[in-house]
Structure 1
């Protein structure tokens, strides 16, 4: 069996690929973390974002929704200056904004996970790509989720970001079929 090639020889990227990417999660804290990191990636490489993950966890108290939802612009400026995070202020402001939106959705749907997973009928979409080149950058479903999140006031949730996010939380399995980490190979 051959693994997906995109992690390259980076141990950090391989660790993410092997243990998190396309693995189902219904944990709202983790889902918020992935939404934040995927949004931070806009215009950057995933490797850069992952290298700053511990800085994000420290700055945002392990992605505590209540804490993040109540951050002031002054506190966000402090985070920008004092933590190992992407320094784009709009991306940092989106963390607080999106946390607020998630808290609202939790009240309406019981959890952010319930809201998101309903788009996939509460089960992962298992793709069967032979080559990484077949994996799309976005799909009709990521476009729909993106539009709905934008209507609810979320930031940094374009359809390409949302498709990567769907992979990150396991709504989609885009490992190539020969990869030992593809859902059907993990079961076997």
Structure 2
């Protein structure tokens, strides 16, 4: 077993990042890499990945309930109606990341999500970039930070009016929602999404 995996007191092997923090461990054990195929779920994760840029995922995860409250449960229809007063409200909300560009991008991305419905919707678009094969990393250093598919999806999302959707952010989204499986070989979560056979 790789040194990047730690076997916990429960006998389950996890990567270092999911072994030290109970919040991250719960996220890793129950959520990360499991398929998300609904519009609201994908919009939320795309939004949070955008806010995460330059920060740690733990920071975002600790603030997730605050984000949900601030952004109307990530209902694209509600967020798309946000105006200047909402932007000012969000900039004054210490419970979230108060970054004007990311806030404006989230509102704009909600509008772009609605526009996508005429062409099958956000979930159909994102999942259409699933690769033919998924990585099988044995060490954290082997996990890619982008892929040809994430580059292509990033380009398409930008063409459709989305912002804060660079190839690395999009690859992180693809990992989080099960489009690729980058769980380390030997982890108790490897192959558990049902999307990829181990």
TM over 0.5: yes
Residue 172 of structure 1 deviates from its aligned partner by 0.9
Question: 2:174 aligned with 1:166, yes or no?
Answer: yes
Give yes or no for the alignment of 1:116 onto 2:158.
no
CA contact (8 A) 2:113 2:122 kept: yes
Unaligned runs of 5+ in 1: none
Structure 1 contact 55–83 (Cα < 8 Å) conserved: no
Q: Show structure 1 runs of 4+ deviating over 4 A.
A: 184-188
Contact 2:32–2:176 under 8 Å retained in 1: yes
The answer on whether the counterparts of 1:98 and 1:155 sit within 8 Å (CA) in structure 2 is yes
Q: Deviations over 1:120-153 (max 9, x none)?
A: 27x8x54311111100111111111111111111
The equivalent residue for 2:161 is 153
Matched residues in 2 for 1:184 and 1:36: separation? 25
- The residue matched to 2:96 in structure 1 has which SS? coil
TM-score, length-scaled by structure 2: 0.87
13, 17, 25: which is aligned to 1:14?
25
In the other structure, the counterpart of 2:7 is none
**Partner residue in 2 for 1:96:** 107
Closer/same/farther in 2, CA of residues 83 and 103 from structure 1, 3 Å limit: farther
Give the aligned partner of residue 43 of structure 2.
32
Quick check: which one's helix share is greater?
Answer: 1
- For this pair of structures, how many residues does the alignment match? 185
Report if aligned partners of 1:41, 1:49 keep a CA contact under 8 Å in 2: yes
1:10-63 C-alpha deviation (Å, 9 max, x unpaired): 111111111111111101111111000000011111111111101100011111
Over the aligned positions, Cα root-mean-square deviation in angstroms equals: 1.9
- Is 1:141 the counterpart of 2:154 in the alignment? no
Say which SS state the counterpart of residue 161 (structure 1) adopts: helix
Structure 1 residue 185 displacement after superposition? 9.1
Query: Could you give the per-residue CA deviations for residues 72-130 of structure 1, whole angstroms, max 9, x where no partner exists?
Result: 12212102213511010110111110011011111221x31111111227x8x543111
In 2: Cα distance, 1:155 partner to 1:73 partner: 18
